[in-house]
Amino acid sequence: MSHSENCIFCKIAAGAIPSRKVYEDDDLFAFHDIHPWAPVHFLIIPKLHIPSMAQVGPEHAALLGRMMVLAPRLAVEQGCNPYPAGGFRTVINTGEEGGQEVHHLHMHVIGGPRPWLKG
Ligand code: 5GP
Ligand code: ZN
């Protein structure tokens, strides 16, 4: 299925629900998380409605690869310091026991200076 009627992230990718956009191309959309865990916290999603990583197949390999390639570029653009002193965390929650709340595949990219991580 290309999009899902009641999916909030499909609506965000389509511009039907406003978001603070970070990036967009034909296949991917990135936007700031509404409840950031860190100074930098955005989500990268495929425009295609894939409920979670549990539904990913070989036909999605290129799409997932593109999400991975995009993450470090956008992280730096959004203010993450460069590797290795800086860097960022990527998180993909899958299913209820994986902590997934929105059932449209998304990669969290989390970073920026967080003094509480040190020492
Ligand atoms: P999950 O727990 O599914 O991995 O993460 C879902 C994330 O989506 C949460 O961090 C939550 O703050 C974010 N989120 C949920 N609804 C919205 C929304 O309407 N707009 C934005 N920008 N983020 C959202
Ligand atoms: Zn969706």
Pocket test for ligand 1, best of 11, 21, 33 (most atoms within 8 A of CB): 33
At 5-21, the pLDDT tens digits run 899 999 999 999 999 99
Task: Flag whether the ipTM exceeds 0.85.
Answer: yes
Establish whether 106 is a catalytic residue. Answer: yes
Q: Please name the fold of domain 8-117.
A: HIT family, subunit A (3.30.428)
Q: Cβ of 58: how many Cβ atoms within 10 Å?
A: 6
Ion ligand 2: protein residues whose beta carbon lies under 5 Å: 4, 7, 9-10, 49, 104
Per DSSP bridges, beta strands 40-46 and 21-24 are: unpaired
pTM of the shown model:
0.95
Sheet of strand 28-32, all strands in order from the earlier edge strand to the far edge: 21-24, 28-32, 40-46, 107-111, 88-91
Nearest to 23 by CA among 36, 13, 34: 13
Distance CA(29)–CA(25), nearest Å, equals 7
